[in-house]
Amino acid sequence: MLDKNGIAKRIAKEVKDGYYVNLGIGIPTLVANFVQDDIDVEFQSENGVLGMGPFPFEGEEDADIINAGKQTITTMPGASFFDSATSFGMIRGKHVDLTILGAMEVAENGDIANWKIPGKMVKGMGGAMDLVASAENIIVAMMHTNKAGVSKLLKRCTLPLTGVGCVTKIVTNLAVLEVTENGFLLLERAPGVSVDEIKAATEGDLTIDSEVPEMAI
Amino acid sequence: MISKKVDNVQVALSGVKNGMTFMLGGFGLCGIPENAITELVRLGIENITCISNNAGVDDFGLGLLLQKHQIKKMISSYVGENDEFERQMLSGELEVELTPQGTLAEKCRAAQAGFPAFYTPAGYGTEVAEGKESREFNGKMYILEEAFKADFAFVKAWKGDAAGNLVFKGTARNFNPCMCGAAKITVAEVEELVPVGELDPNNIHVPGIFVQRIFQGSNYEKRIEQRTVRTRG
């Protein structure tokens, strides 16, 4: 079974040379720590920066340079700043190659819910609805089940949707899955996790080819 | 040169009234019009509708207006950092219209650029699309979103001149340029009001035509919401 860093490490393998990548808040943010050194990648943050770098050294924080999680950041050589309309032009216009975000629920048809739990606090969708409506390559990073042990990979989402039929791949603490016309296709198992355990933790339709390899991370 | 310069925040905000709709730039606490917010609190204007990506934190930014119950309605994309906001929303004191962030930016830009509405794929198939016209283009579904209408836009820039030209720093740019010229009156406050001619025309982020009033701001706190650092070595 993977921890949050393990999930991020596995997703980092999906980041290819020449990609512009948007990372959501939470596990997705950790992906930047594991991207290979020998490829060229630029991270976009929807509040208006392309070419995001690591956190600043203590004493070098700048209130005017933050990411979408409102954290102080630095920029890499070649970075640029822009306004919010331009930022979402990059996203809506499909100029960003890969979007990695968290979710509360994903359905076997690729629907995603991650912005609202009715009756509880509604924090808002931020940029998530814009991202999932336009991106063609969307990877969800999340735990396979919620804290109560209930599957987050469902036949249909029960929470208000963020987007419809948009998720392409899911990396959880248990598995890597692809969304296909026949539901979730199991691609890889996390180290030490059996196919049966994944089956038991998945409510939506799960397609299993004869041999499911263990993740190499 | 047509001068937009006004002496202070009091003059800059003349004409604001109860019940008006205001746009306020900023992302989180980054690039917010601190002086305009302080003045709105001092004036005690009530029943206002605020178009702003976020709602500040409890004791800073738009949170200051929420504390005084001056806001009737918030139009935002993300409001997760403010307990007083949550309390007022759950008790029904505060009306909230959550809008996808890119749609929020474009509703400002559309107002600035003279578009009454636009189609976007964001929110199609979700509750955001309820009651809105939808249409297919090239096999993909889009929803119709209308441009904002606002009385004042309050923006904050790094540098500006009396002509109203603005230059921003870092990610403090965010929604500010999109809101300039998107309301009946745009008020820009700047950290540094420089003599006309000093800003390079090649490097102006917002041309002065979109700004009606500009003033030298003061006492910027520029609070950091999430101070994240790495260790040396």
Which CATH number is B84's domain given? 3.40.1080.10
pLDDT tens-digit readout, B35-71? 999 999 999 999 999 999 999 999 999 999 999 999 9
pLDDT the model gives residue B81: 79
| B20 within a domain of the structure (yes/no) | yes
- By the 10 Å C-beta count (0-12 exposed, 13-18 middle, 19+ buried), B184 is classed as middle
Indicate whether B41 belongs to any domain. yes
CB contact under 8 A, A61 and B28: no
Give start and end residues of each alpha helix (H) in B6-60: 9-12, 34-43
Query: What pLDDT, on the 0 to 100 scale, is given for residue B55?
Result: 95
Per-residue pLDDT at B39:
98
pLDDT at A118: 87
Domain limits at B80?
9-101+149-216
Tell me whether strands A138-141 and A98-101 are parallel, antiparallel or unpaired: parallel
Mean pLDDT of B80-98: 89
**Chain B interface disruption, residue of A129, A132, A138, A159, most B CBs within 10 A:** A129
Within a domain: residue B17?
yes
Q: Is A197 a catalytic residue?
A: no
* Contact status, residue B116 vs residue A88, Cβ threshold 8 Å: no
B26 pLDDT higher than 70: yes
Q: Which two tokens stand for residue B119?
A: 């189609």
Asked whether B152 and B187 are in contact (CB, 8 A), the reply is yes
Q: What's the token pair of residue A117?
A: 């739990």
In this structure, chain B runs to a length of 233
Please answer whether residues B95 and B101 qualify as being in contact, where contact means their C-beta atoms are separated by less than 8 angstroms. no
pLDDT at A121: 66
Mean pLDDT of B104-120: 98
Q: Which of A71, A84, A111 shows the shortest C-beta gap to B175? A: A84
Share above pLDDT 90 across residues of chain B, in percent, rounded to a whole number = 93
Cβ-in-10-Å burial (0-12, 13-18, 19+) of B191 comes to: middle
pLDDT tens profile B203-232: 999 999 999 999 999 999 999 999 999 998
By Cβ distance, the residue of A72, A126, A160 closest to B77 is A126
Contact B105/A85, CB-based, under 8 Å?
A: yes
Chain B residue with CA closest to A47: the answer is B174
Q: Which of chain A's residues have a Cβ under 8 Å away from the Cβ of B170?
A: 49, 62, 64-66, 81
Helix/strand/coil (H/E/C) assignment for every residue in A34-103: HCCCCCCCEEEECCCEEEECCCCECCCCCCCCECCCCEECCEEEEEEECCHHHHHHHHHCCCCCEEEECC
Residue at token pair 């990411």: A67
Q: Would B109 be classed as within a structural domain?
A: no
Distance, CA of A183 to CA of A206 (rounded, Å):
6
* Beta-carbon contacts below 8 Å between A and B: 181
Mark which residues 182-221 of B lie under 8 Å from A by CB: 205
Q: Do B222 and A63 touch (CB under 8 A)?
A: yes
How does A79-115 read in b/e, with b if 16+ C-beta sit within 10 Å?
bebbbbbbbbbbbbeeebbbbbbbbbbbbbbbbbbbb
Q: Identify whether the C-beta of residue B140 lies closer than 8 Å to the C-beta of residue B181.
A: no
* Residue B120 resides in a domain: no
Cβ contact (<8 Å) for B128 and A123?
no
Domains: count for chain B:
1
Instruction: Identify residue B76 by its one-letter amino acid code.
Output: S
Residue B123 domain flag: no
Check A14, A42, A46, A203 and give the catalytic one: A46
* Regions of chain A where pLDDT drops below 70: 121
Residue A211 burial (C-beta neighbours within 10 Å; 0-12, 13-18, 19+): exposed
Task: Kindly indicate the confidence band of residue B80, based on its pLDDT and cuts at 50, 70 and 90.
Answer: confident
Tell me the pTM. Answer: 0.96
In a domain, B82, yes or no: yes
**Residue B111 within any structural domain of the chain:** no
Q: Strands B152-160 and B185-193, how do they pair? A: parallel
What pLDDT, on the 0 to 100 scale, is given for residue A137?
Answer: 95
Q: What is the pLDDT of residues B169-179, one digit of tens each?
A: 999 999 999 99
Query: What does the pLDDT read at residue B161?
Result: 98
pLDDT digits (tens, 9 = 90+) for B126-146: 999 999 999 999 999 999 999
Q: Give the pLDDT mean for B1-25.
A: 98
Mean pLDDT of chain B: 97
Dihedral sign (CA A128, B127, B77, B22): positive
Which whole number is the average pLDDT over B65-78? Answer: 97
| Contact status of B132 with chain A (Cβ, < 8 Å) | no
Of the pLDDT bands very low, low, confident and very high (cuts 50, 70, 90), residue B192 is very high
